Amino acid sequence: MTDPSMPFQAIYTTYRPRILRYLTRLVGQSEAEDLTQHVLVKVSEGLPQFRGDSNLSTWIYRIATNTALDELRSPHWKQTQGAACGGAMADNDPDLDEEGTFVEEPAGSVEQDVIHGEMNQCIRDFVEHLPENYRTVMVLSELEGFTNSEIGDILGVSLPTVKIRLHRAREKLRQDLSVGCSFHHDERSEFACDRKA
């Protein structure tokens, strides 16, 4: 756990590269730099009120996630990006009111192996085009390494909701990959995929 009394310069040095990487995965490289600066300004302004009730990294990622979601839902984003980047989920997203009716993911599925390993650009493209709610939980879990409980704290949702979204995100990714990718082992004997013509 990071010390909540850490001075802002140390927070900036530690978290700026992580937040930039995270936001790049959510909104793309062209928007991520400006949003990272915006997040760090919010962190700086909010730091005096931060009491350490949650992990500092969870608090920072909550700010980053909310900033990214605000951007993804903005009219500016919808005009410039449209559905190409996944767009916002409908307001009646079915996983918001379900009570733990999910199926546990079997261990060792192909897409989890690829994501946990050295993920190539083809896979990244499919993750980046998942719907907003699914992309966010997938990035936080598989690429940023947060636990389901931490993801719930970051997103402000219950643990069952996190599990449902992760399950559905993996299912959606599995379907997209099966239609759009051909899997193989690369020269390092690692899973890789090539986009189908």
| Maximum mean pLDDT: which of 51-55, 65-69, 184-188 | 65-69
Say which residue, 137 or 120, is predicted with more confidence: 137
For the stretch 23-36, pLDDT in tens is: 998 888 888 999 99
What structural domains does the chain harbor?
A: 8-85 (1.10.1740.10), 94-195 (1.10.10.10)
Average confidence (pLDDT) over 153-160: 95
Average confidence (pLDDT) over 135-139: 92
Residue 112: its pLDDT value, please?
53
Residue 103: its pLDDT value, please?
36
Residue 182: its pLDDT value, please?
73
Say which residue, 78 or 141, is predicted with more confidence: 141
| pTM, full prediction | 0.71
Residue 154: its pLDDT value, please?
95
Residue 25: its pLDDT value, please?
87
For the stretch 80-132, pLDDT in tens is: 554 443 333 333 333 333 333 333 444 445 555 545 444 566 777 788 889 98
Say which residue, 120 or 46, is predicted with more confidence: 46
What percentage of residues in the chain have a pLDDT greater than 70?
69
Are the CB atoms for 57 and 142 separated by under 8 Å? Answer: no
